[in-house]
Amino acid sequence: MTRTAAPESVAAAPRPYPSMAADTAILAGRHLRLMSRRPASIMGAIVLPLVFATMFYVVFGTVVERRIGGDYGQYLLPAVLLQAMLFTAMSAAILSVEDVTGGMIRRLRSMAVSPVAPVLGLVGAELSRALLTIAVLLPAGAVMGFRLGGGVLGSVGFVLIALLFAAVTCTGFIAIGFAVGKVDSVQVITNVIFFPFLLVSNAFTPTEAFPGWLQGFVANQPLSRTAAALRALADPDAAVAEPVTIALLWLIGGFVLCVALAARTYRRSL
């Protein structure tokens, strides 16, 4: 028996190949539009960092200046900036859960969409919030005595490392959001990560102020290393090669790992 070829009109259409760049751009635009309809989200990126910067400067300024022997404003601004990037990451985690519970992820998974595009699209949108925070904090820090003294390259590096830290933490928290899929649970988990990670670091307090048995961890954990890189880039007399290299190794490695985890949890989310 001879087989008859199927007519071209009923032949199966070729499956379109996903484009990571195009899919990421489209999804980032979607998240930006959603953010624009949430004034509280934008205000949080502006007001909270200013409140924390003022509180820490007023409450701890004199005490810490005695220990570090320098201007606390110069020491404080990188810490508040990294704290604000963690707040941005927590926002990304909540938005990722909303996409899961609202059916958006299920819909995307039924389409020819790159598996990393939902992650990178949300991260890209959150980085716009991070840029807004940086634009607000730098002038406020100048009032408290902070200066970007590392020249043009140092200033650009300062901003880029802060944004890279935001990208890493956002991606990691998005992975948690996709895996957990419940707003309440995600808020608990991210807070459990957020507060020890921030407080057991030299962001707000010098390493020497911690107990001796804890100082090794405090000095070498990723947030402390990133804070050290930011402070070196802002200091005209500091050697930047070592702190920046160590911070970049932490951040680039963390970003690759977190993207892989987020893409995996995206594929397995409900």
- Rg of the chain in Å (alpha carbons): 22
Query: So what's the pLDDT on residue 65?
Result: 65
Q: 137, exposed or middle or buried, with CB in 10 Å at 0-12, 13-18, 19+?
A: buried
pLDDT score at 64: 67
User: How far is residue 113's CA from residue 5's CA, in Å, rounded to a whole number?
Assistant: 31
pLDDT of residue 35: 84
Over the stretch 30-49, which tens digit does the pLDDT of each residue have?
Answer: 988 888 887 777 787 888 88
**128-167: per-residue pLDDT in tens?**
999 999 999 999 988 888 889 888 999 999 999 999 999 9
Neighbours of 238 (CB within 10 A): 16
3-state secondary structure 72-109: HHHHHHHHHHHHHHHHHHHHHHHHHHHHHHCCHHHHHH
Is residue 86 a contact partner of residue 194, using CB atoms and an 8 Å limit?
A: yes
CA of 88: how far to CAs of 66, 126, 131, 230, in Å?
32, 7, 11, 18
Q: How far apart are CA 103 and CA 108, in angstroms?
A: 9
Give the C-alpha distances (Å, rounded to integers) separating 175 from 15, 46, 228.
Answer: 28, 25, 27
pTM to 2 decimals? 0.88
pLDDT of 75 reads: 85
- Ranges of the chain with pLDDT below 70: 1-18, 61-70, 270
Say what the pLDDT of residue 2 is: 47
Quick one: pLDDT at residue 12? 46
Identify the pLDDT of residue 17. Answer: 56
C-alpha 194 chain-centroid distance: 12
CA 79 to chain centre: 14
